[in-house]
Amino acid sequence: MGYKKFNIEGTVAVSPLNLAGDLKDIIFEQLSVDYDGIMDKDIGLVICVTDVLDYSIGEIIPGDSDVFFKAKFSVITYLPKLHEVVYGKITQATDFGAFINVGPFEGLCHVSQVMPDFNSFNPELPGFVAKDSKKTLVVGDKGLCRIANISFKKTIAETKIGLTMRQYGLGKVEWQAMDFKQDTDKKKTVSKTTKKETKKSAGSKKGGKKWIKKFVENVEK
């Protein structure tokens, strides 16, 4: 789903000490304090409040010093979706996997999911190196990954996102070129082998025909 803009309604409480100035700006500041960074299961993480669209006359509740306003306002949110393909940057590499930014979140791609090839962690890079294809994934690299699992919590720090780059088409852009070249080389090898086998088979059939003709001639004699 990624980034989206929503218009939502809510009630904001403003302290009398903050009521000096333009009321719309005051409500905007308080909404930003109340909503920026909160998690909602339906719309995701609220990145920021962008505008106050409408607001009511303030109400006072007995026993409470704040003034309450019903407001309609716009927010920018980010909601990661299960199985969604996202483009991210590797921010950290450890022996158990790579941390990759997914919008404002940070997901973990386990070492077993970093690439389809068998690979090992190299702390000097720091990053991962494939044993056969020699593909690499190091801090600072960017690539495509798929969201494999999500565990939403109350805060962005507590929310867990699991990623994978094992599937074909995922990972660094350079990997796609390497895979394409490898597939092309395999097709060429198969094509050459097929031609040799066809030629050999044709030769065997030709020899077989000569033997049959000679056998028939001998029988007729």
Collapse the DSSP code of 63 into the 3-class scheme (helix H, G, I; strand E, B; otherwise coil) and give the result: coil
> Has this prediction a pTM greater than 0.75?
no
What pLDDT, on a 0 to 100 scale, did the predictor assign at position 9? Answer: 95
Do 37 and 112 sit in the same domain of this protein? Answer: no
Answer whether residue 194 is part of any domain: no
State both tokens at 155. Answer: 């805060």
Answer whether residue 105 is part of any domain: yes
Do 71 and 92 sit in the same domain of this protein? Answer: no
State the total domains in the chain: 2
State both tokens at 107. Answer: 């997901």
Q: What would the pLDDT profile of 176-198 be if each residue is shown by its tens digit?
A: 888 777 767 666 666 666 656 65
Maximum separation of any 2 CA atoms in the chain, in Å: 127
Answer whether residue 202 is part of any domain: no
What integer is the mean pLDDT of 13-19?
A: 93
Q: Which of 79, 99, 125 is where one domain is finished? A: 79
Question: Where would I find the H helices in the chain?
Answer: 23-35, 173-220
Q: Which of 79, 102, 137 is where one domain is finished? A: 79
Answer whether residue 199 is part of any domain: no
Please tell me the chain's helix, strand, coil percentages from 3-state DSSP, rounded to the nearest 5: 30, 40, 30
By residue range, what is the domain housing residue 101?
A: 85-175
CA distance 27 to 66: 12
Answer whether residue 205 is part of any domain: no
Do 71 and 122 sit in the same domain of this protein? Answer: no
Instruction: Give yes or no for residue 212 having a pLDDT over 60.
Output: no
The domain that contains 15 carries what CATH number? 3.30.1490.120
What pLDDT, on a 0 to 100 scale, did the predictor assign at position 179? Answer: 76
Answer whether residue 196 is part of any domain: no
> 162: closest CA among 120, 116, 102, 117?
102
Q: Which of 79, 95, 122 is where one domain is finished? A: 79
The domain that contains 129 carries what CATH number? 2.40.50.140
Do 120 and 69 sit in the same domain of this protein? Answer: no
Do 152 and 114 sit in the same domain of this protein? Answer: yes
Answer whether residue 123 is part of any domain: yes
Torsion angle, CA of 199/205/211/215, rounded to 10 degrees?
-170
> 73: closest CA among 18, 36, 113?
36
CA distance 80 to 69: 31
State both tokens at 111. Answer: 């070492």
Q: What would the pLDDT profile of 80-136 be if each residue is shown by its tens digit?
A: 999 999 999 999 999 999 999 998 999 999 999 999 889 999 998 899 999 888 899
Which has more pLDDT, 40 or 99?
A: 99
Do 66 and 94 sit in the same domain of this protein? Answer: no
Do 90 and 160 sit in the same domain of this protein? Answer: yes
Amino acid identity, residue 123?
Answer: P
* Mean model confidence pLDDT for the chain: 86
Is residue 111 within 8 A of residue 96, CB to CB? The reply is yes
Do 103 and 161 sit in the same domain of this protein? Answer: yes
What pLDDT, on a 0 to 100 scale, did the predictor assign at position 215? Answer: 44
Q: What would the pLDDT profile of 49-61 be if each residue is shown by its tens digit?
A: 999 999 999 999 9
